[in-house]
Structure 1
Amino acid sequence: MSNHERGAELIRLTAVDFGYTGTPILTGVDLALHANDFVGVVGPSGSGKTTLLRLLLGTVRPDHGTITRRPRVAVGYVPQLETVNWNFPVTVAECVLMARKQRGLPWPSRADRADIADVLDRLGIGHLARRQIRELSGGQQQRMFIARALLRRPRLLLMDEPTSGVDVNSRHDMLHLLSQLNAEGVAILITTHDLNGVASHLPRLVAVHRRIVAEGPPREVMTSAVLEATFGAPMEILEHLGMPVVLDTRRPHMSIAERRAS
């Protein structure tokens, strides 16, 4: 897809380096996100996927390089479910309301209540508005956080492992929902470790391992050479129904050096 087809550029990272307390996490990152993008970021744990989201959000600044943003572009963020305190005593509606900047009032306005009801209904969880968040299923939890992000009317939605911990049906529903949002004009970037269930179904992938290893459609990124450079282990790629399928060829209890030598 050309940049023209992808729409206006929203954010661009140019030669970005970033690290924590002197330890490099990402180096030489060049990445642009456009208005029509639906992108998956793949890589092993510790490869810099979440750090990349933080750079895009602006919660951390690069050590070197530049990040340019289209003026007044609202960005929504959906965290990993594992990072949330689900015992916090709050209802679904109250959690979604937290996305709104408070105006000094201890209660939501009529417009706030209408907007919350609309976004919850749109995501199919309007009937859960008064439910405590700890009572939700994994798929419902994800929809609640997407609702909270959408309340800001974002042009770009960033999601950290949105299908982690959900069953196959919920994963399918999530991908369908995100495709609908993307078709309605929301650019989406998600991180995922699920190569076959998620990554292979996305229009565009970015493979990350402390740098951008490869970028493009799944057929170009999900290759044996790219995935070995990204995950540090050989993987066999097959094709099924026109999509790449990854087979992990590693033998258990072998180090990476042993696997490469075998």
Structure 2
Amino acid sequence: MSNNIFYEKPNLIVDNATVTYSNGHTAIYDASFNITGGSICALVGINGSGKSTLFKTIMGLVTPTKGRVTLNNAAIKTALKQNIIAYVPQTEEVDWNFPVLVSDVVMMGRYSKMGFLRIPSQKDKQIVADALARVDLTGLEQRQIGELSGGQKKRVFLARALAQEGKVLLLDEPFTGVDVKTENAIIELLRSLRSNGYLILVSTHNLGSVPEFCDQVILVNRTILASGPIETTFTQKNLQLAFGGVLRHINLSGAELHDDDDPRSLTVITDDERAAVFYGHHEQTSVIKKQPEK
């Protein structure tokens, strides 16, 4: 199969995937979903629901016991050899005491393009500089990564993913430990990448931000409970199905909100990060989206 299939718009298919570890624990079963480039998809579920296992399966770190994962109809390991999939880890997964410069971390995204000795070309250096500029870190190239703030560290790994030039981007809890300014900057960058045909999958507990920048959502609890467009899938019913009693659920009826006889209600659903707010009739509510800053 020709490698040029990966220059097309990416199409990721997880088909009936089950992952059972050597200790007999089945982390995910019969998982199926389909995501196409030009979209941002949220992966939402409680801790232990199988989100990390899905990420590991997509990255080829775990082989499904049953089912398969393909990118543009090729086995996922074929795509990985072409360095198509870039990963932005959780902050907690990184050893910040390891002495490494910001520029060196971002240059790691270019390693697969280099020769055996990994000597960067002028093109590699320019791509790294451009990636740092896109995440507003120009001037910090020679800083030790452990000296940076939480938001800056997150942006370094985003820059590494950009330098890799893969069209599939996986982000694991990108908003944890960052300030509002960094969160907004990350969201704007992801929107820009989406407009350029990237396929972006974001694992997040930040429910309130999901409808602001995602157009697709996958709700998971050891299997795929629901997947599809935000408007029809990111609903109170599906969130309660995915999170069960973990979420706090606050409902204010029409009489508590209005002086008139307007029957609509306000529902707040939160797992203590950022709440999702729904407004409308109990069975026909719509999620409230924050207006973009001008």
In the superposition, the TM-score normalised over structure 1's length comes to 0.83
Match of 1:181 in 2: 193
User: 1:9, 1:32 within 8 Å by CA — same for their partners in 2?
Assistant: no
Match of 2:96 in 1: 86
CA distance in 1, matches of 2:108, 2:156: 12
1:116 maps to a residue whose letter is V
CA distance in 2, matches of 1:245, 1:140: 34
CA distance in 1, matches of 2:171, 2:118: 29
Aligned sequence identity (%): 35
CA distance in 2, matches of 1:88, 1:147: 19
Match of 1:24 in 2: 26
> In 2 relative to 1, CA 237–89 (structure 1 residues): closer, same or farther, beyond 3 Å?
farther
CA distance in 2, matches of 1:249, 1:131: 36
Match of 2:4 in 1: none
Deviation at residue 82 of structure 1 after TM alignment: 0.9
Match of 1:206 in 2: 218
Deviation at residue 142 of structure 1 after TM alignment: 1.4
Match of 1:260 in 2: none
- Say which SS state the counterpart of residue 147 (structure 1) adopts: helix
In the superposition, the TM-score normalised over structure 2's length comes to 0.75
* Superposition pairs of residues 46-195 of structure 1, within 5 angstroms: 46-70=48-72, 71=74, 72=79, 74-99=84-109, 100-101=111-112, 102-105=114-117, 107-195=119-207
2:199 maps to a residue whose letter is A
Note if 1:41 corresponds to 2:40. Answer: no
Deviation at residue 104 of structure 1 after TM alignment: 3.0
2:59 maps to a residue whose letter is L
User: 1:15, 1:28 within 8 Å by CA — same for their partners in 2?
Assistant: yes
User: 2:10, 2:168 within 8 Å by CA — same for their partners in 1?
Assistant: no
1:13 maps to a residue whose letter is V
- Say which SS state the counterpart of residue 58 (structure 1) adopts: coil
CA distance in 2, matches of 1:122, 1:168: 18
Larger Rg: 2
Deviations 1:74-107 (A, max 9, x none): 1111110111011110111011112213523364
Flag structure 1 segments of 5+ consecutive residues without an equivalent.
Answer: 1-6, 239-243, 251-262
Deviation at residue 169 of structure 1 after TM alignment: 2.1
How big is the alpha-carbon RMSD for the aligned residues of Structure 1 and Structure 2? 2.3
- Say which SS state the counterpart of residue 35 (structure 2) adopts: strand
